Structure 1
Amino acid sequence: MIAFRERLRACRDHLLSHCAPLPAPYPAYVFFFSATDGQQRAHVVHAGGPDFTTAWQRGVELLQQWIDTQEPGALWLRVDWVEGARAVSWERLTHQLALTKRNYFRYGIAFDEDFECAFTEQELNANAMLYGGSGIEHAVVNRGNFGIYHRTRFGPAPMPELPPAGQVYLLSTRGVFCQPDGVPHAIEGAGLNAGRRVVDRLDSERVLALVRSGSSFLAQQVRDNGAFVYGHFPCFDRRIPTYNTLRHASSVYAMLEAWELTRDDALRDAIEVAIEHVAKELVRQYTLPDGQEVAFLIDTADEIKLGGNAVCLLAMVKYCELMDSDRWLPLLEKLALGIASLQDPQTGRFYHVLHAGDLSLKQASRIIYYDGEAAFGLLRLYALTRDGRWLAVVEKAFGYFIANEHWRAHDHWLSYCVNELTRWRPLEVYFRFGLLNVADHLDFVLERKTTFPTLLELMLAAEQMLRRLRAMPTMRHLLDDFDTAKFYRALEHRAHYLLNGFFWPEMAMYFKKPAAINGSFFIRHQAFRVRIDDVEHYLSGFVAYHRFLLQTPIVESVVPMSKQDLSRVTIQ
């Protein structure tokens, strides 16, 4: 561990080579010092001065006063400097907040031109000072949270009137972060990447580190009984009190994908407990009127969801493949038959939600995710067992998907399942569906401001299909009107943009319990929510991106179709 003084010196050296003085009437230099032991919200002090040395020494003295009151230990250290300031009226600020998605306001705020009362963007967002609740989609001043954090930062000093009589000042900051290892990390300044470290290159090694981190977090959320700690709202360390068994099973699937890369023993132990919980506590078996034995995942409100059985298939098939085990095959059969029983034999559509008590229909259609999940789950089971029943159900369902233009949903699960389907049935109609599922969605992938992790999954599943398509001379014409260059540009952009949803320590340190969320993934516009399925989708995306980075130009072979197979195809 590098001594704290040495880390301060490393931060000072970084600032000396990067920061420049502010113009009058502002202080020439203003530094924010943040420190935490990882167990409590960062303590923040700031100081300004007419020159670098004066401002730095004042800030270090204030920080040292706090450190002297703490137990000895390793501290995370971050230092930010103000690189720009702009005076605005309160009316202008509130107007700007109203135009900004909640938690996406990326400036600090000062209430006087000397910056005596000032907060960084990280302080504002981590303390929900600009968050009006889930019912308000834009940023808004939360007076109560402002008052609470002002007392934390400034003690008994009077809080500024809201609205203030004069102007306020929007602050652009940039910084450097140094953990006990002594390595300084430059912190991004303005823009959507603000607040986290600069990452020049997202290579396979760094992606693997993200997978290790996210999967380790999920493993730590598995309790002794196999259930997860479902999620956190980290601003005030509030646990999410609800539960969703579908997301439990799908999170186990993502953990298995990660374990395939990491082979981490603690992760495997957590998987074993969590998947046993699915089989023994969350799945219920039934006998249908025709005597068929089926099984269904039971969710909250005593519901059976089509997608619930699907993700159980995904998790248990993946387990059987990776562990070379047949332990779940009897249950997999019953879960698959449960899905098949939800298919309309005439149209091929799936019914989505049943009452668990009597298997009566509760909701014919709830969300298109379930359709893609069901088809993908059955295809993965087909890959394991080569039982033609499951492929037949999927092809019948795809007739319905195509007729009803399901590609317009641009759903990531549909991307997964059409990629898998074209491995076994490399037909033009299926390839066209897969291309349509992404072709006119690329601008959205490039421009979406939220991290939206399932977009990376969508793109990478489609990329696998594209690889095979390019290797098939009789199918290459399908790409004539497809913007391949834009596709790969969008894929790379989305992979890099997901770094903004990772809880780097330099971001986690401002929340109530940094160590509890450090190394996880979050959804910024949902109050920085960290929920198992949020982490799951980031994790699956990065696992697939790691595979993409390592793949050779040689594409996987397509399973050839027999003449008998071809004669069964009726979709036009």
Structure 2
Amino acid sequence: MKPSNVRLLFARLRRQVEERVGAAEGEVPAFVLFASLTDGAARARTVTVSGAEFGACWRDLVQAAERVMGDARIKPAWLRVDWVERVEKMTWSALETRLRKVKRNYYRFGISLDSAFHHAFLETELNANAMLYGGPGARTAVVNDKNFRRYARIRHGLANLDRRPEGEVWQFSTRGVFLALNSPAVHELHGAGRDAGRRVIARLEASDVRALVAAGSGYLASQVGETGRFTYGWHPCFDREIPAYNGLRHASSLYAMIEAWGVTRDATLGAAIERALAYLMAELIRADGEGEGARAFLVEENGEIKLGGNAVAILALCKYCQVTGRQDHLELARRLAEGVLFMQDAATGRFRHVFAWPDMQLKDAFRIIYYDGEAAFALMRIYELTRDERLLDAVESAFRYFIEAGYWNTHDHWLAYAADALALHRPRPEYYAFGVRNVAGYLDFVIDRITTYPTLLELMMAAERMVSRMQADPALRGGLAGLDLDKFYHALEVRAHYLLNGHFWPELAMFFANPRRICGSFFIRHHAFRVRIDDVEHYLSGLVAYLAWRERQADGERRDASVALAM
């Protein structure tokens, strides 16, 4: 490998680093610099230098990076440089006490084993190597001794690790910058806090959201095989495939892909949709009868028929009809809707959740609240295409039960979608009241929730559609009395921006075992950065809805400007 490849990347970053770096706080070297490089195909290699003078440290950092890349015969495509800002010395015992107060995978600091930073680990190294992850049974961060020793040996050649309670360690925070070889942009990275380590985006522009939708849907397309079956998911710390499968999530992920295709019109995404759609219809859906009133059901591999499975299959087929203008799958959607009606108790409006195929015996009257909202929303979507009043009547019957049972207390995003769609066609005060109560009183949770919780943005966007109609209609406006509108819109924006912390930006993906596989996807941090098709699906659906809202805002502003100019 030519040394100039590494030097070219560093030369592009030096000015940005030198303008931002300052002497570290604490009894440590004035300058501690980290460089992390990868070709995108393997976990980044990180080197550390420290010293009293920036210029000498930078020279040493470039040389160390050249040696590492040369020894590995890797041509770097991504470079990230971090520098230490603040340091706190403590004992291992104190550190472990602190970890027990932090949600798993939410420890956002680096750790050095010595004051000179000869044996230091960035926060991204710690988390991407599961060094502080004790497994799904550990609710808080904890030192994973096996993983910690493994990476300490790889990174620093440490054969032994002294973790005596009284032993000293140094916790530190950093700032950084990132660039890719094929891009002119240099990205400043956030320092300590929940945004730590990813690029600074002060305000989401429509172009940013479109790029996120394109990246996330591109990831889902990459997971659709030739047969149309998804690769269900990955544990990215060690590039381990999740071997399970779930037909409901196949259909719901397909639905999100179709939503995204309505934004991007990407040909590769379109081809993946066709494959996944064919698999859904041929392998996952079973017919039950022929002719008038014939039903169809999405059947899981274990023989379960889930109310939610039928519902999201309907949503996928109806969304496909909507964005393509084709009606050839509408009859199958209608049969799936007949299946949903079969699963509803006509007397009470209550849905029954799980049946067994093929004997159609009831297995679970109730399993999870999501199914109810999914079913009501799906019936509304097919109603909009068929105008079959039986479907609308069934949703009203369901909502009478939802209201009586106080389902707004669940703050469920699917119920928000359903309430919005029902109120649009039957604008009765009780439906709007349900939608408002579903989000009012929940805004603090939306603002403060530490996990990215992508369905919260879906909840907010569905509620916003109702809120905007209520604001515009004097007859409905009084229903907003219990909702703090300023706080509502603040919560919406906070949640949309917070989703950036669940995106595998290249500056984060580079620390995991197979960066290119996950780059552009979305993850669940507290599940060891798990990437599963349904995880990505919910991020996408929220962002697509947020983009549509931003574009409606922009259209309104343009109309107002045109009117002002004409006056």
Tell me which interval the TM-score lies in, with the shorter structure as reference length. Answer: over 0.9
- Cα deviation for residue 113 of structure 1 reads 1.2
The reply to whether residue 22 of structure 1 matches residue 17 of structure 2 is no
Which residue does the alignment assign to 2:560? none
Question: Distance between the aligned counterparts of 1:437 and 1:166, measured in 2?
Answer: 51
- Cα deviation for residue 88 of structure 1 reads 1.2
- Cα deviation for residue 82 of structure 1 reads 0.6
Which residue does the alignment assign to 2:86? 84
Question: Distance between the aligned counterparts of 1:390 and 1:291, measured in 2?
Answer: 15
Which residue does the alignment assign to 1:560? none
Deviations 1:154-199 (A, max 9, x none): 12x3333123642211011111111112421111110000010111
Aligned partner of 1:7: which letter? L
Question: Distance between the aligned counterparts of 1:365 and 1:151, measured in 2?
Answer: 50
Question: Distance between the aligned counterparts of 2:416 and 2:156, measured in 1?
Answer: 52
- Cα deviation for residue 115 of structure 1 reads 1.4
Which residue does the alignment assign to 2:98? 96
Which residue does the alignment assign to 2:399? 398
Which residue does the alignment assign to 2:370? 369
3-state SS of the aligned residue for 1:190? coil
The reply to whether residue 331 of structure 1 matches residue 356 of structure 2 is no
Q: Where in structure 2 are the equivalents of 1:229-378 lying within 5 Å?
A: 229-287=231-289, 292-378=293-379
* RMSD of equivalent CA atoms: 1.6
Instruction: Give the aligned length.
Output: 552
Question: Distance between the aligned counterparts of 2:403 and 2:457, measured in 1?
Answer: 23
3-state SS of the aligned residue for 1:60? helix
Question: Distance between the aligned counterparts of 1:63 and 1:469, measured in 2?
Answer: 59
Query: Does the CA-based 8 Å contact 1:35-1:76 persist in structure 2?
Result: yes
Q: Quick one: structure 1 residues 182 and 292, their matched pair in 2 at CA, closer, same or farther if it must change by over 3 Å? A: closer
Instruction: Flag structure 1 segments of 5+ consecutive residues without an equivalent.
Output: 556-572
Query: Does the CA-based 8 Å contact 2:178-2:188 persist in structure 1?
Result: yes
Query: Does the CA-based 8 Å contact 1:4-1:75 persist in structure 2?
Result: no
Question: Distance between the aligned counterparts of 1:165 and 1:88, measured in 2?
Answer: 9
Out of 308-317 and 55-64, give the one that drifted further. 55-64
Aligned partner of 1:492: which letter? E
Which residue does the alignment assign to 1:221? 223
- Cα deviation for residue 483 of structure 1 reads 0.5
The reply to whether residue 203 of structure 1 matches residue 226 of structure 2 is no
Query: Does the CA-based 8 Å contact 2:25-2:87 persist in structure 1?
Result: no
Query: Does the CA-based 8 Å contact 1:412-1:455 persist in structure 2?
Result: yes
Normalised to the residue count of structure 2, the TM-score between the two structures is: 0.95
Query: Does the CA-based 8 Å contact 2:149-2:161 persist in structure 1?
Result: no
Question: Distance between the aligned counterparts of 1:194 and 1:273, measured in 2?
Answer: 38
Aligned partner of 1:262: which letter? T
3-state SS of the aligned residue for 1:82? strand
Which residue does the alignment assign to 1:117? 119
Question: Distance between the aligned counterparts of 1:475 and 1:201, measured in 2?
Answer: 32
Question: Distance between the aligned counterparts of 1:485 and 1:192, measured in 2?
Answer: 24
Aligned partner of 1:21: which letter? A
Question: Distance between the aligned counterparts of 2:543 and 2:300, measured in 1?
Answer: 28
Aligned partner of 2:97: which letter? H
Query: Does the CA-based 8 Å contact 1:178-1:185 persist in structure 2?
Result: yes
Question: Distance between the aligned counterparts of 1:163 and 1:426, measured in 2?
Answer: 66
Aligned partner of 1:266: which letter? T
Q: Quick one: structure 1 residues 552 and 192, their matched pair in 2 at CA, closer, same or farther if it must change by over 3 Å? A: closer
Aligned partner of 1:68: which letter? G
Q: Quick one: structure 1 residues 197 and 23, their matched pair in 2 at CA, closer, same or farther if it must change by over 3 Å? A: closer
Question: Distance between the aligned counterparts of 2:309 and 2:552, measured in 1?
Answer: 32
Moved over 3 A (4+): 70-74, 552-555
Instruction: Flag structure 2 segments of 5+ consecutive residues without an equivalent.
Output: 557-567
Query: Does the CA-based 8 Å contact 2:37-2:76 persist in structure 1?
Result: no
Aligned partner of 1:448: which letter? R
Question: Distance between the aligned counterparts of 1:218 and 1:67, measured in 2?
Answer: 32
Which residue does the alignment assign to 1:567? none
- Cα deviation for residue 355 of structure 1 reads 1.1
3-state SS of the aligned residue for 1:423? helix
Aligned partner of 1:312: which letter? A
3-state SS of the aligned residue for 1:69? helix
Question: Distance between the aligned counterparts of 2:155 and 2:74, measured in 1?
Answer: 22
Question: Distance between the aligned counterparts of 1:149 and 1:456, measured in 2?
Answer: 36
Match of 2:155 among 127, 130, 153: 153
- Cα deviation for residue 70 of structure 1 reads 3.9
Q: Quick one: structure 1 residues 24 and 276, their matched pair in 2 at CA, closer, same or farther if it must change by over 3 Å? A: closer
Which residue does the alignment assign to 1:561? none
Query: Does the CA-based 8 Å contact 1:188-1:195 persist in structure 2?
Result: yes
Deviations 1:85-114 (A, max 9, x none): 001122211111111110000000011111
Aligned partner of 1:357: which letter? P
- Cα deviation for residue 44 of structure 1 reads 0.7
Normalised to the residue count of structure 1, the TM-score between the two structures is: 0.94
Query: Does the CA-based 8 Å contact 1:7-1:182 persist in structure 2?
Result: no
Match of 1:8 among 5, 10, 19: 10
Question: Distance between the aligned counterparts of 2:199 and 2:553, measured in 1?
Answer: 30
- Cα deviation for residue 24 of structure 1 reads 5.8
Aligned partner of 1:174: which letter? R
Which residue does the alignment assign to 2:564? none
Query: Does the CA-based 8 Å contact 2:93-2:165 persist in structure 1?
Result: no
Q: Percent identity?
A: 50
3-state SS of the aligned residue for 2:520? coil
The reply to whether residue 447 of structure 1 matches residue 470 of structure 2 is no
Deviations 1:381-414 (A, max 9, x none): 0001111111011011011000000000000000
Aligned partner of 2:209: which letter? V
Deviations 1:247-288 (A, max 9, x none): 000011101111111111111111111011111110011139
Question: Distance between the aligned counterparts of 1:491 and 1:322, measured in 2?
Answer: 26
The reply to whether residue 525 of structure 1 matches residue 526 of structure 2 is yes
- Cα deviation for residue 45 of structure 1 reads 0.8
Aligned partner of 2:536: which letter? V
Question: Distance between the aligned counterparts of 1:271 and 1:369, measured in 2?
Answer: 24
Query: Does the CA-based 8 Å contact 1:520-1:535 persist in structure 2?
Result: yes
Question: Distance between the aligned counterparts of 1:79 and 1:162, measured in 2?
Answer: 28
Question: Distance between the aligned counterparts of 1:216 and 1:462, measured in 2?
Answer: 28
The reply to whether residue 471 of structure 1 matches residue 476 of structure 2 is no
Question: Distance between the aligned counterparts of 1:350 and 1:527, measured in 2?
Answer: 35
Query: Does the CA-based 8 Å contact 2:502-2:525 persist in structure 1?
Result: yes
Question: Distance between the aligned counterparts of 1:321 and 1:24, measured in 2?
Answer: 60
Deviations 1:54-78 (A, max 9, x none): 2222222111111223446342101
3-state SS of the aligned residue for 2:299? strand
Question: Distance between the aligned counterparts of 1:24 and 1:405, measured in 2?
Answer: 54
Deviations 1:122-173 (A, max 9, x none): 0000000000001111100001001111111112x33331236422110111
Question: Distance between the aligned counterparts of 2:71 and 2:162, measured in 1?
Answer: 31
Query: Does the CA-based 8 Å contact 2:419-2:434 persist in structure 1?
Result: yes
Which residue does the alignment assign to 2:565? none
Aligned partner of 1:202: which letter? L
Aligned partner of 1:501: which letter? G
Which residue does the alignment assign to 1:430? 431
Q: Quick one: structure 1 residues 397 and 543, their matched pair in 2 at CA, closer, same or farther if it must change by over 3 Å? A: same
Aligned partner of 2:468: which letter? R
Question: Distance between the aligned counterparts of 2:311 and 2:263, measured in 1?
Answer: 23
Question: Distance between the aligned counterparts of 1:393 and 1:80, measured in 2?
Answer: 58
The reply to whether residue 177 of structure 1 matches residue 153 of structure 2 is no
Question: Distance between the aligned counterparts of 1:178 and 1:330, measured in 2?
Answer: 50
Question: Distance between the aligned counterparts of 1:196 and 1:138, measured in 2?
Answer: 22
Question: Distance between the aligned counterparts of 2:107 and 2:464, measured in 1?
Answer: 34
Question: Distance between the aligned counterparts of 2:26 and 2:512, measured in 1?
Answer: 33
Aligned partner of 1:144: which letter? K
